[in-house]
Each structure stands twice: as C-alpha cells, then as structure tokens.
Amino acid sequence: MSVQQKEQIAWLSDLPVVTIWTIFAKPAFDSSWLVAALAWCALLVLAFRCRRIWSGPHGSAFRLAASWFSVPLVLLLTADALVGPLYNARYLFFTAPAVAVLLAIAFTLSARAIVVWALIGVLVLASAPTYISQRGPFAKDGGSDLSQIADYIHSNAAESDGIYLQDTGKSTLRPRLALYAYPAAFISTEDIAFEAPFTTTGTFSDETRSLDEIESKLVGLERIWVVTAGSTGTDAARKINAAFNLMGFFDTSSHQTNRSVITLYER
C-alpha cells in the first residue's frame, strides 16, 4: 500500500532532501549546526569507545539507543533508494531521544563530574541561539510572515478590494498560504485568482487563474492588493506588475514584511 500511495509525497523528488545535513543533523538538531557539530564530535568519541561501552554498565542503553537511531535511518534511506522518493528528515524526529541517550553516555565517559557538567553547559549554551529563534515571531519555516500579511491586509483593505497572492515557488513559502492560515483577515476581499480549493487538486495549492485569465475578475474593482514573495525586484514581482499595468492598474504604495511585499494597485 505504501508503494501504491507514494504519489502523495512525489513532491519530495523536486527537493534536495537526502543530504549530509538532513541525514545526520536535521532529525535531532533541526537548524542548529553548532549543536550538531558539537554533538557529533561527542558521538564520534563514543563510537571509538563502543567496545568498552558494549560490555559496561551502559551497554543495554547504548545498544537500544544505537538501534533506535540507526535502524529507522537505514530502512528509510533504503526505501528511498529502491522505491523513492520517500526520505524526509521529519520522519526521523522520533529518533531524537535516542541521540540524547547516546550523548548522555558519551558525556559520562569521563569519571570527573566537573568535565561532565562542563560538557552539558557547553551544549546548553550552544543550543541557546536556536532555542530563542524558535520562539520568535518568524520562527516557522525559516521566517514565515503569513501573520504579518494577514494583519496588514485586515488593517488596510477596504470592503470588496481585490486580493492577489503569489502562488508559485516553494510550496511552503507561497504568500497564498496566508489565506488558509488566517482566513478571517481576508473575508472582506475578493480573491481574483481563485478557481478551485487545494482540497480538490491533490496538491498544496489551489487551482488559480493565470495573470492572462484574471482580467474578467477585475470588473468593478478599483483597488487590488498584490502579495509577492521576496521584494519588488524579483522576476515574479516584475511580471505581476507589468501584467496589472496592462490591465489599467498601477502601484501606489508597498509594504515590506519579513520575506514578502504587499503592493496596492489602483485603477
């Protein structure tokens, strides 16, 4: 059945999902390269001492944690190679506790308590930047600004203004996702590109009209809010600007969010 349903994750084939980082760092350490580097130094020391540990007091915990970490990884990589594409680092997040157990064993290789606590302290300090950033306003998906987009539209759009949100690029970074993340913010606007919801397309995206097909939806509109990823200087933004200019709409103001730009076009 897994093979029959693999098209559900066929989008993985378009992404560089099998890399050194996604195999050995992201499942347990997410975006913290510093913690990953320090941890793997400790784990390499542990690997060199594995014979001694195997028969020592931590032998059972070591064998359990090593199997817990390695077996799912090997199975997933094998399936990805034979059936593929299947690999995604998030599928291995449940192995993070195994890495924690291995690190605990590695730290206790030293008989001196001060060394153990020093190692723990270094790891905690190295984790601090990531811990703080993960709790910031743009922590999700490397800086998601969907809430900013929604707040700005909700505060500035007038009744029956048009809304056009870019629906191209990486699926998780598209401004159009703001419509589903914060639908209440867009209730008063008219979605001029909408054709069919993503729930009927079998993808992450709605079915939307192209720029060449939306002119009929502009009848009666005087203002359109256009949200594009990046800045006004991107190829996508320039293409959208040119298309609206040809349809008689011109940009009158713009607002930059964390990684998107919201432009008001008026007839």
The one-digit pLDDT tens for each residue of the chain (267 residues) are 455 555 555 555 555 578 888 898 889 988 888 999 999 999 998 888 888 888 788 889 999 999 999 999 999 999 888 876 778 888 899 999 999 999 999 998 887 889 889 999 999 999 998 888 888 777 777 778 899 999 999 999 998 899 999 887 776 778 888 998 899 999 999 999 888 887 777 777 788 888 888 888 888 889 999 999 888 788 888 888 899 999 999 999 999 999 899 999 998
Q: Indicate the number of domains in the chain.
A: 2
Spatial separation of the C-alpha atoms in residues 106 and 175, rounded to whole Å:
44
pLDDT for 48: 87
1 part of a folded domain: no
> Quick one: CA torsion of 227, 183, 195, 243, rounded to 10 degrees?
-10
One domain for residues 210 and 228: yes
One domain for residues 243 and 175: yes
Domain limits at 108? 6-135
Query: For residue 115, what are its two tokens?
Result: 């060394």
One domain for residues 80 and 59: yes
pLDDT for 190: 92
One domain for residues 68 and 163: no
One domain for residues 183 and 216: yes
One domain for residues 261 and 226: yes
One domain for residues 182 and 123: no
Of 87, 116, 135, the one marking the end of a domain is 135
Spatial separation of the C-alpha atoms in residues 263 and 255, rounded to whole Å:
6
One domain for residues 15 and 83: yes
Of 116, 135, 154, the one marking the end of a domain is 135
Between 96-107 and 33-48, two packed helices, what is the crossing angle to 10 degrees? 60
pLDDT for 36: 92
One domain for residues 125 and 162: no
204 part of a folded domain: yes
Long-range contacts of 64-69 (CB under 8 A, 24+ apart): 64/98, 64/101, 65/98, 65/99, 65/101, 65/102, 65/105, 66/98, 66/102, 68/95, 68/97, 68/98, 68/101, 69/95, 69/98, 69/99, 69/102
Is this prediction's pTM over 0.85?
no
One domain for residues 161 and 228: yes
Long-range contacts of 248-251 (CB under 8 A, 24+ apart): 249/218, 249/224, 251/226
Query: For residue 150, what are its two tokens?
Result: 């929604």
CATH of the domain at 177: 3.40.50
Query: For residue 189, what are its two tokens?
Result: 């606007």
54 part of a folded domain: yes
Picking from 151, 156, 180, 176, the residue whose alpha carbon sits closest to that of residue 166 is 176
pLDDT for 89: 86
Chain length of the chain? 267
pLDDT for 133: 82
192 part of a folded domain: yes
One domain for residues 119 and 156: no
Of 71, 101, 135, the one marking the end of a domain is 135
pLDDT for 15: 58
Spatial separation of the C-alpha atoms in residues 103 and 82, rounded to whole Å:
32
pLDDT for 164: 93
| Helical H segments across 83-172, by residue range | 96-107, 113-133, 146-156
